[in-house]
Amino acid sequence: MTENVRGIGINTGSVNPYGNQTKGSEAKPEETKPEAQPQAPASSQVKPDDVLAYMAQNAAMVNPQVAAQRTYDVSKYVTPEQAARIAGFVTSFEDQVAKGLIAINEELGENSGLSEAAKYEIAAGMVK
């Protein structure tokens, strides 16, 4: 029968790799390694207050204090008619966003899981 299998081209050595073991591997005893005990890292202790002070100092560098909002004299830049027209556009936009927020709350419910910022962004995107 093995002649027929070899004629098909099947590698019988890969079918049962345990049948072709050498005797040297059987005589080898298992080696046991002593387990290494975990050691604490050798570092100096840092006070938590020092860490928080360092983080606060870095946050001040990354996020500088924002200056108070300045008011601008619009009359220097636009005419009264243009200012009234712009104010009308802004009021219309705010009204449409408010209607969009009402529609979102009616459709999804108050407890939809969306944050207020996400609701405002969706409502602002709905304005045409």
Is 100 inside any structural domain? yes
The mean pLDDT value for 42-68 works out to 78
Is 10 inside any structural domain? no
Domain count for the chain = 1
Is 33 inside any structural domain? no
Looking at residue 94, its pLDDT comes to: 94
Is 110 inside any structural domain? yes
What would the two tokens of residue 46 be?
Answer: 């840092």
pTM value?
A: 0.42
Is 44 inside any structural domain? no
pLDDT tens, position by position, 74-125: 889 999 999 999 999 999 999 999 999 999 888 888 777 888 888 889 999 9
What average pLDDT does the structure give for the chain? Answer: 78
Domain of 88?
A: 78-126
